[in-house]
Structure 1
Amino acid sequence: MTDTTASTGPGSTPDDGRDTDDGRDTADVLVIGAGAAGAAVVWSLARRGLDVVCLEQGDWVPQDQIPKNHADWEVRGRHYWNPSPGKRRGPADYPVTNLGENPVDVYMYSAVGGSAIGYGAHFWRFEPSDFKARTLDGFGVDWPIDYEDLVPYYELNEKMMGMSGSGGDPVQPGRPEVPLPPIPIGRQGERWIDGFDKLGWYWWTQSQALLSEDYKGRPACVNRGFCAFGCPSGALALPSNTYWPEALEAGARLRTNARVREVTVDDDGNATGAIYYDADGRLREVRATTVVISGNGVGTPRLLLMSKSARFPNGLANSSGQVGRNFMPHVQTMVIGHFLEPTDADHGAWGGTVSSRHFYETDPENDYVRGFTMVAMRGYSPLNTALATAPWGDGHHEALEHHVNHEATIWVCGDDEPEEHNRVELDEVNLDDFGLPGVTTYYTLSENSKRLGEDGVRKATELARAAGADSVRTTGFDSILGWHLLGTARMGDDPTNSVVDANNRAHDVPNLYIVDGSSFSTGGAVNPTHTIQALALRAADKIWEAFDAR
């Protein structure tokens, strides 16, 4: 087991000179999961003087493991860096099986920084309407909080991460300024703008957790591209190079390679801590006054369902039966346009050039409710392009030359209604290396999602053609991109149909907080990382207020 207090380089590996594992197995607050949410909670509470310990199933990512530090980065990206645990099968992973009519290719990493170590850094706020979709459109459920409740936490998170973009977005209220100017959009970005303008559709430069200028000791982006394969310089904002260094400096304790078996409770139903396997396979226990679970929309319901007891026979905090239900990975696909001129696919951030919420809100003329975002991006990497467009045999090289660096992508992300049949369950057959159950996900697109997604593809195809594409292909919806894992321990006022309250505190367990994408009531139609972190910062304030009131 490693218990560290500092990190180095671009924030990927711990400082080897400061080990504070003093054997203490008690804390004020125990946080399970060191990803985007867990890091924000730990930072917020540690800097106030609380004794916080965090258990992370994975480890720090060493510099020599970042694919973009190697010439064969694309090959590495399909093996140990593969975002799908079922394909990666690393030592920190557990089995994940994906079923349903539209199975989700679940993407998640177990590491310090969580799944954000392999993300594209899109950094959106939700819209006010996202919190009241039931009231406005009869869609899903309303959140028990409003957009205004998160505004100060959005602002704080944008400064902590170092967000680049343009202020004054007309569809985003109360956001006149952005910490850093936008990342250069390149000539492909200009083509996308031309396409939007021809169609008369609103667009805006993409906000990204990526540095356009040097910031807080981190260097500006040097446009090496394909950010999800790792950022050698540290320009890409990760929990490991933003929140964690400051949290560790404030005295937080981080224990890596710590695989949690269960959250423990006392006879009164209060959480008392967790039992976990350390790096040597020894069973250990941490006891804490307050417990926070930040394991993502798959890992969190897994741990809750594993934490059965006489008091909670159906899983911890699951009197509603909603733990694992309402799984929302978003309605996602890619529309890829081919251009006669080079698209400079490898120049600049993969995460986006310009984007549009033109079709975000419900239009009564549509045969579906809610809407989608279109993010106009650069093209795919050479190997991924080859595998999709250039089969082996005669014509392979000709096909590859035709497509590589001549394609650009529009990512379509649609709102996904919470439905109980879309779910995460324990898999008692496929076990991890410690004999703990894996998970099975079940997902089927609703009729509303199908119609919404089909319209998203039509509109993105229009945009590609208007921008000058001479042909268009799409990745479809047969298998759903599983980048966003939401809704499986959702927030609500009613304990009979939700798992946590408006402060992310479990209805059934007064000192247990669930703080990650699983708490989303609905998912909006944008990348959730920014909102996950804003919720985490707000939940940390609520935890602190509870301590301060004692």
Structure 2
Amino acid sequence: MMSQSNGNKTPDVLIIGAGPSGAVAAKRLAEEGFSVMCLEQGTYPDYTVIKSMEPEFELTKDAHYGWYPNRRKAPSDYPINDEESDVAPLMWNGVGGSSMLYAAAWHRLKPSDFRVRTVDGIADDWPFSYEDLAPYYDRTDVDFSVSGVAGDTCSPHFEVPLPPFPLGDMERRFAAAHDRLGWHWWPGTNAIATVKNGVLEPCVRRGSCLWGCFDGAKASVDRTHWPINRKLGVELVQNARVLRIETDRQGLATGVTYVDRTTGETKFQSASAVVLAANGIGTPRILLNSGRSGAAEGLANSSGLVGKRLMMHPYGTVVGLFDEFFEGWQGPYGQRAYSLEFSETRPDVGFLRGAKWQLMGTGGPLNTTGSFPWGGAGNWGKDFHKEVRRRFGHSAYWAIIAEDLPDEANMVTLDPDLKDSDGMPAPKLIYRASENTRRLLDYNQQKAMESMREAGAYETIVAPIVRETGWHLLGTTVMGNDPERSVVDGFGRSHDVPNLFVFDGSVMPTSGSVNPTGTVAAMALRSAEALIANARDQKVSLSAA
């Protein structure tokens, strides 16, 4: 039986990772009186170095909070071998996790996304339905201060806690175009406060969401959850890089071995239950590194699926150039509006499933010179000034998020040679976009070009698969009811190790086509409540009790 909070040094629950799923789970467990400890390999973000109110922001933003860890190389980062991947992984390691850098576009999966095998005969159905998750979506929408308009005709109907951002000239232009085409569009739903709400201030629309919100309007969990968690008694240990999960002879988790990166010491922390919340790369990395002799394939991996079925939402863009001027550098950066017109399988198109489009501005003057979202190597050369004038304030783009189907050939493994600064094997990614994905993106980009022309664009620029867009890291410890075909059950509990859980996006059987953080947070809340409900019968190692 799992004990509840009693002041012992062995916590009831040890959580690995202080991002959205770890923060949501820690809060709910602590509310019920469980003793909770969270190990986080990074520290709190330093918002004082984010100069989004200063003219030099575009020049300095990537130096501190760039998206790509292999380029950023912060002390809390670890190297990732992505030479065999079509998409580069993006993340931030620290308190708040990648919610620090996410665009905060907030969605729910559609009911059909939970039933892909039933609907389309591919992939797997989830072990629960949209209706099972809906009450948890409702609660996390409130906790993350979601703003927008209720009643989307192409998405599950739900109440949006905060009012929407006003539609600007750009959004109204595309709304009218889609009305003429008879295509779906909807104002953006974002985990960004439009009015003061709790700890969050109203958004002032700097458009700097992806480099940390200096003004405190975006719902990153370092702001929304961790102050509450710490008041509830959750012990947050920073600069703690987990190397492996330890088990006893009965196969139960006893705790973790980690490096205290402040002192350089390697330590053991016991726990009655262990929860992984380290994202779709970090979680399988730890499990694969936790194998004992005779278990070369890692821990909790009798199915052989740990690290397999990596999904990364391949991402393309279609930029439109306009004669008219509009303020494309204003926030919210992630989505001013979106379209789910092509998010379901259509007959006679040569591919299955679909994509979400999100309407975005192209940023400030410097952003007109780079490769994102324009494709290519950037706007440099003899026509530099002409192109800046042509692009700045005269452009918008559809970001196209392709639903990624699970494929066991796409995976996270341990690199045999590359290691991090603490000697832990680095993850290696093997990921190739399928023919289905390429056809899906091509079709949607052709349709997005039509949308651009209808909205008045005189020219369109297409970037097929943009490499540095791996924000969504999913599927590598898949959930399911059959232990031979899944790693965890529908509540994140390992089939092999009864007191080991996974609460992050790596458990998702399919990816849908929308931004996944809303689903990840709702699943973490649901799984935490299942852990609470079953605590009396929870098996624990005697050496951890």
Partner of 1:10: none
Partner of 2:11: 27
1:450 aligns with 2:434: no
> Residues 489 and 120 from structure 1, CA distance in 2 versus in 1: closer, same or farther, beyond 3 angstroms?
same
Alignment of 1:525-540 (within 5 A): 525-540=513-528
Partner of 1:238: 220
- For structure 2, the residue ranges without an aligned partner over 5 or more in a row are 1-6, 539-545
Partner of 1:546: 534
Q: Distance in 1 between matches of 2:444 and 2:421?
A: 41
Letter in 1 for 2:248: D
Specify the SS of the correspondent of 2:223: coil
Query: How high is the TM-score relative to the length of structure 2?
Result: 0.94
Deviates more, 1:233-242 or 1:341-350: 341-350
Q: Measure how far apart 1:480 and its partner are.
A: 6.1
Partner of 1:276: 258
Q: Measure how far apart 1:311 and its partner are.
A: 6.5
Partner of 1:50: 34
Indicate conservation of the 8 Å contact 2:191/2:219, yes or no: yes
Indicate conservation of the 8 Å contact 1:103/1:480, yes or no: no
Query: How high is the TM-score relative to the length of structure 1?
Result: 0.93
Alignment of 1:25-424 (within 5 A): 25-68=9-52, 70-100=54-84, 103-175=86-158, 177-278=159-260, 279-310=262-293, 312-388=295-371, 391-424=379-412
Q: Distance in 2 between matches of 1:70 and 1:498?
A: 49
Partner of 1:492: 480
Q: Distance in 2 between matches of 1:391 and 1:239?
A: 36
Q: Distance in 2 between matches of 1:253 and 1:531?
A: 26
> Residues 461 and 129 from structure 1, CA distance in 2 versus in 1: closer, same or farther, beyond 3 angstroms?
same
Q: Aligned-residue CA RMSD in angstroms?
A: 1.6
Q: Distance in 1 between matches of 2:189 and 2:430?
A: 32
Q: Distance in 1 between matches of 2:296 and 2:78?
A: 23
Q: Distance in 1 between matches of 2:47 and 2:437?
A: 40
Q: Distance in 2 between matches of 1:476 and 1:380?
A: 20
Q: Measure how far apart 1:79 and its partner are.
A: 2.6
Q: Measure how far apart 1:373 and its partner are.
A: 0.9
Q: Deviations over 1:339-369 (max 9, x none)?
A: 1122201223111111111111111222111
Letter in 2 for 1:242: T
Q: Distance in 2 between matches of 1:31 and 1:108?
A: 19
Partner of 1:503: 491
Q: Distance in 1 between matches of 2:401 and 2:509?
A: 17
Q: Distance in 2 between matches of 1:218 and 1:396?
A: 40
Q: Measure how far apart 1:549 and its partner are.
A: 4.8
Specify the SS of the correspondent of 1:98: strand
Partner of 1:12: none
Q: Measure how far apart 1:484 and its partner are.
A: 0.5
Letter in 2 for 1:489: T
Q: Distance in 1 between matches of 2:264 and 2:462?
A: 45
> Residues 433 and 25 from structure 1, CA distance in 2 versus in 1: closer, same or farther, beyond 3 angstroms?
farther
Indicate conservation of the 8 Å contact 1:369/1:448, yes or no: yes
Q: Distance in 2 between matches of 1:474 and 1:398?
A: 20
Q: Deviations over 1:436-492 (max 9, x none)?
A: 111111111111111111111111111111111111112222636211100000111
Q: Distance in 1 between matches of 2:537 and 2:422?
A: 40
> Residues 305 and 70 from structure 1, CA distance in 2 versus in 1: closer, same or farther, beyond 3 angstroms?
farther
Indicate conservation of the 8 Å contact 1:166/1:178, yes or no: yes
Indicate conservation of the 8 Å contact 2:101/2:212, yes or no: yes
Partner of 1:431: 419
Alignment of 1:475-490 (within 5 A): 475-477=463-465, 479=467, 481-490=469-478
Q: Deviations over 1:110-143 (max 9, x none)?
A: 0111111111110000000001101110121111
Identity %: 40
Q: Measure how far apart 1:28 and its partner are.
A: 0.5
Q: Distance in 2 between matches of 1:224 and 1:173?
A: 30
Specify the SS of the correspondent of 1:105: coil
Q: Distance in 1 between matches of 2:140 and 2:148?
A: 14
Match of 1:513 among 498, 501, 515: 501
> Residues 225 and 287 from structure 1, CA distance in 2 versus in 1: closer, same or farther, beyond 3 angstroms?
same
Indicate conservation of the 8 Å contact 1:226/1:381, yes or no: no
Q: Measure how far apart 1:105 and its partner are.
A: 1.1
Q: Distance in 1 between matches of 2:406 and 2:395?
A: 34
Q: Distance in 2 between matches of 1:409 and 1:157?
A: 29
Q: Distance in 2 between matches of 1:518 and 1:391?
A: 37
Q: Distance in 2 between matches of 1:313 and 1:67?
A: 47
Q: Distance in 2 between matches of 1:71 and 1:244?
A: 31
Q: Measure how far apart 1:318 and its partner are.
A: 0.7
> Residues 362 and 391 from structure 1, CA distance in 2 versus in 1: closer, same or farther, beyond 3 angstroms?
closer
Q: Distance in 2 between matches of 1:114 and 1:162?
A: 18
Partner of 1:469: 457
Q: Deviations over 1:293-327 (max 9, x none)?
A: 00000000100001111464310111111011101
Q: Measure how far apart 1:401 and its partner are.
A: 1.3
Letter in 2 for 1:333: G
Letter in 1 for 2:336: T
Indicate conservation of the 8 Å contact 2:310/2:474, yes or no: yes
Q: Distance in 2 between matches of 1:546 and 1:75?
A: 51
Q: Distance in 2 between matches of 1:106 and 1:372?
A: 20
> Residues 284 and 430 from structure 1, CA distance in 2 versus in 1: closer, same or farther, beyond 3 angstroms?
same
Letter in 1 for 2:532: W
Q: Measure how far apart 1:45 and its partner are.
A: 0.3
Indicate conservation of the 8 Å contact 1:380/1:409, yes or no: no
Matched residue count: 526
> Residues 405 and 24 from structure 1, CA distance in 2 versus in 1: closer, same or farther, beyond 3 angstroms?
farther
Specify the SS of the correspondent of 1:241: helix
Letter in 1 for 2:444: G
Q: Distance in 2 between matches of 1:67 and 1:42?
A: 31
Letter in 2 for 1:179: P
Q: Distance in 2 between matches of 1:386 and 1:37?
A: 36
Indicate conservation of the 8 Å contact 1:489/1:498, yes or no: yes
